[in-house]
Amino acid sequence: MGNVSAKESRSRSSTFSSSNGIPPPSGDITGFITRSSIPRRYTTSTIGGGNSLGSSGSGGLLTGHSNSLLDFKKSKRQEEKDRIQEAHYQNLIVRYNENVDGGYLAPYGTYKSNLDYNTEVVRNFILNRQLSPFYTPLQDFDESWTQNELLIILNQLPLHAIDVAYSDLDEDAEDDIDNHKIHKSSNYYKRQEQKQKLKNLLLKIKNLQKEEDLRYLTDKQNNSTNEDSKNPHLSSNDLLLQLYGKPLECPICFLYYPANLNISRCCLQPICTECFVQIKRLDPHPPHDESSNTTNDNEGEEKEKVVLHTLISEAASCPYCASPDFGVTYDPPFNIFTGMGSKTKAGDYIRLKSKDDSDYESDDDDNDNEARNTISSPSTPSSTTSSAARRRSSLAANAPGVITIDMIRPDWEQRLSSARSKLERKAATATAIHASNLLLNGDEDNNGNRRRRQTESSVSGSSTNGSRRRGNSANSHLIHLQTVEDRMLEEALRLSIIDEEERKRKVEAEEKKKKPLQHSQQQEPQVTS
């Protein structure tokens, strides 16, 4: 029919042009426009082809964006944790210009652990004279010492016991649970990174403390040589004699401190602040079953259901009388008010001299002999009257002026809730595994029952029904044990395969990082030539 294409060729060319977007070779532009402009409905390309590609592309972009956002949030949280941790250890540095009534705002270093108390809270309590300062302790004390002998000993004391407080840095690191495994877990490298970061931070804090000790010794030496240019932040001899003239021994660490120590709210026993901050709540643990022997079996089962997967945190008890909710009170000395929060510096304190001191000075001017007066003689009206003598009864934990352990560690509720949520997640996982095992065991038991019924039909009728029941129960128990063992082996193999794949991915990632570096190193000689 001339140049007009046949029906078969026209339909074939139209299909070709519409599917590829190319005009038909026959020049039928009208057919091309109508067929290509109208979308094809109910076809694979429109339902799952183009749209699926677009959705997958947009989904990939959204997934990548969400992952990057999560990584950003994690890095921000980690940076905040690192900042808080560094601020905590910065507050543990003893600075001699931060003194209150002859003591300091940071511990001396008698202990090297359990320094996880809230340093900001304790500093505020000391500044407000609600808690005794951290005093430099005396290892021993003898009442026969003279004033000069005591001053020589006090001036030789360091600002901080660095060798004791940071002795863990010289020791080997704690053994990790994955150290002896061939394939390390994913959290192993994170733990090692955190340990190394903490060690570097402690080394930094140790060096800062050494610098502070060096400045302290230098200024103390300058005070002894230059009377005109004394550092006002260093305690004067009068302040040292007033504080350590009649020291008191702490019953826990057996070191001697100024007599104005903290007093327990319950049994009126003295305790230094360094020992007080060591006391803490126990880690979250299951409740004690004290009434298990007196209850019936049914009541015991109901109680187990109630307390299942629960944790408690018991309040800290008194180290002397074991009373709960341990707390202390502090009465500052009435004739010593120096340092931070006061107009009088530690170096400007002048002790009121007694009659014995004046007699001693007159005798010293006449005879020019060495001072022989003892420490017990030059004492003013008791400046360190213990609060135990003032307070003769115990106080409640919520009484005004009582500082409890929970006040210096206010995050115990957060730790308890996190431990409970972690235990609940473990319990949910165990329940899911147990339910899946029951389903698998149920299917296997049904198959085993069919097989057993077939075998029982062929067994002679001489065996009794009771023996068959015992045999069935024994067989089902063996099958159950075998199934459990198979599941454990499968789980171990699966975890091993996952660890191996993760290790391979890490090796490949490291190799990819090394390749650009090697390529750039190879190109550098060519450029220079």
Q: Please name the residue that has the structure tokens 């009659």.
A: 355
Q: Which residues contact 300 (CB under 8 A, 6 or more apart)?
A: 292
pLDDT at res. 251? 95
pLDDT at res. 151? 92
Q: Please name the residue that has the structure tokens 């020291």.
A: 247
Q: How far apart are CA 375 and CA 147, in angstroms?
A: 6
What residues of the chain score a pLDDT lower than 70? 1-65, 113-114, 169-180, 228, 289-309, 352-392, 441-475, 477, 516-529
Q: Diameter of the chain by CA atoms?
A: 150
pLDDT at res. 500? 84
Residue 235: name the closest of 386, 353, 340, 349 by CA: 349
Amino acid identity at 300: G
pLDDT at res. 194? 85
Give SS3 for 235: coil
Dihedral (CA of 35, 39, 43, 44) sign: positive
pLDDT in tens, 326-350: 999 999 998 899 999 888 888 888 8
pLDDT in tens, 11-23: 444 444 444 444 4
Q: Decide if 167 contacts 157 (C-beta within 8 A).
A: no
